Amino acid sequence: MRAVVFERYGEPAEVREVPEPGPAPGGVVVRVEATGLCRSDWHGWMGHDPDIVLPHVPGHELAGVVAAVGPGVTGWRVGDRVTAPFVCACGSCADCAAGEHQVCARQTQPGFTHWGSFAEYVALDHADVNLVAVPEELSYATAASLGCRFATAFRAVVARGRVAPGEWVAVHGCGGVGLSAVMIAVAAGARVVAVDTSPRALELARRFGAAHGVDAGRGDVAEAVREATGGGAQLSLDALGSPATAAASVAGLRRRGRHVQVGLLPAAAGGGTVLPMERVIGWELEVLGSHGMAAHAYPPMMELVRTGTLRPDLLVTATIPLGEAPAALAAMGTTPGRGVTVILPGTSAHA
């Protein structure tokens, strides 16, 4: 099969022929019809993920068709249209028994713990626990965007952030996760302040319902958020992942507000991320992490997508063939977020 492979961190990847994977016991192989290009893939390419072993095939947001089924799989068969969360849970540890598959102690992640979906085929473990059926009316490109960014944003806003109608929500970083969070918060009846350095990203955020846009490259971001919201947001998300955005997200909250960290924070050269903890204490702020969403939690989100209440398809701003993926992956470090780019391994055209 053809796949995007890199052999050294931060150096150009290339498309090459590699062996097709086989299904593990309890697992499946999926023919990849679409796979999202995510900033987490860029972090992996840069060497920020300790689970990656070189050479490596990235990619963890995917949708496609079951091509092979391993022994022990009971709920899926060849030809089924599927997607999966980027955290593939074991289904049998204490965390999984409690329903918290997204923090499974024995989790696997395509594109991180093993070769991923920037390829024509990808292997997924524990299929009966992790696969999600894709309705016929949902395109593969739309379904691919659900597995990481949209599902992650949905759980971060709804379950972890406990968004309520009428609240102010600040979203720092309007790439795929951030724009998803904007759309989801607006659908929940919240008022949103979008924060980014890219005019195009802020324009998209307004299109998806953000009431205000804040240029993060100008002045004090937290002060601008507090001014726009009349005293601070009740809920704020760092959807980018940097020391500056995390600190600004916390500082832009009002008393007893909730910060949710969604964007990955690689270790900084001079130390870790510094948050204004004196404010966290004095204002009784909540600092929460959010890590994907379990497959069993997908149905409410999928129903909102099916009925058109949520429109993740509008977040897909570009589709590219597999041959353009290496350059697009490298560009994520410098290109501002502009929605979701989806790779179509089976095509040579782009849109």
Instruction: Specify the pLDDT at position 351.
Output: 46
**Three-class secondary structure assignment of the chain:** CEEEEECCCCCCCEEEECCCCCCCCCCEEEEEEEEEECHHHHHHHHCCCCCCCCCECCCCEEEEEEEEECCCCCCCCCCCEEECCCCECCCCCHHHHCCCHHHCCCCECECCCECCCCECEEEECCHHHHCEECCCCCCHHHHHCHHHHHHHHHHHHHHHCCCCCCCEEEEECCCHHHHHHHHHHHHCCCEEEEEECCHHHHHHHHHCCCCEEEECCCCCHHHHHHHHHCCCEEEEEECCCCHHHHHHHHHCEEEEEEEEECCCCCCECCECCCCCHHHHHHCCCEEEECCCCCHHHHHHHHHHHHCCCCCHHHHEEEEEEHHHHHHHHHHCCCCCCCCEEEEECCCCCCC
Taking only the tens place, the pLDDT of each residue in 157-178 is 999 999 999 999 999 999 889 9
Taking only the tens place, the pLDDT of each residue in 248-273 is 999 999 999 999 999 988 765 455 67
pLDDT at 16 over 60: yes
Read off the pLDDT band of 30 (50, 70, 90).
very high
More confident residue, 334 or 88: 88
pLDDT at 71 over 90: yes
Tokens of 113: 């713990």
More confident residue, 79 or 39: 79
Taking only the tens place, the pLDDT of each residue in 132-156 is 999 999 999 999 988 788 999 999 9
Summary mean pLDDT of the chain:
94
109 φ, ψ to 5°? -135, 110
Read off the pLDDT band of 32 (50, 70, 90).
very high
Tokens of 80: 């089924």
180 φ, ψ to 5°? -60, -45
Q: What percent of the chain has pLDDT over 90?
A: 87
Instruction: Specify the pLDDT at position 264.
Output: 83
CA distance 171 to 288: 14
CA distance 253 to 96: 33
Give the pLDDT mean for 199-205. 94
pLDDT at 21 over 90: yes
Tokens of 320: 């590219």
CA distance 89 to 107: 5
pLDDT at 337 over 80: no
Q: What percent of the chain has pLDDT over 70?
A: 96
Q: Tokens 């204004």: give the residue.
A: 276
Give the pLDDT mean for 115-129. 98
User: Which domains can be identified in the chain, with CATH numbers?
Assistant: 2-149+293-344 (3.90.180.10), 162-289 (3.40.50.720)
Instruction: Specify the pLDDT at position 271.
Output: 57
CA distances in angstroms from 254 to 246, 282, 331, listed in the order given:
15, 11, 36
Burial class of residue 270 (count of CB atoms within 10 Å of its CB; 0-12, 13-18, 19+): exposed
Of 139, 159, 172, which is closest to residue 314 (Cα–Cα)? Answer: 139
Does residue 55 have a cis peptide bond before it, meaning omega lies within 30 degrees of 0? Answer: yes
Read off the pLDDT band of 86 (50, 70, 90).
very high
Q: Among 77-81, 127-131, 311-315, which stretch is predicted with the lowest mean pLDDT?
A: 311-315
pLDDT at 338 over 90: no
Instruction: Specify the pLDDT at position 90.
Output: 97
Q: Angle 187-175-152 (CA atoms, 0-180°, nearest 5)? A: 60
Read off the pLDDT band of 346 (50, 70, 90).
confident
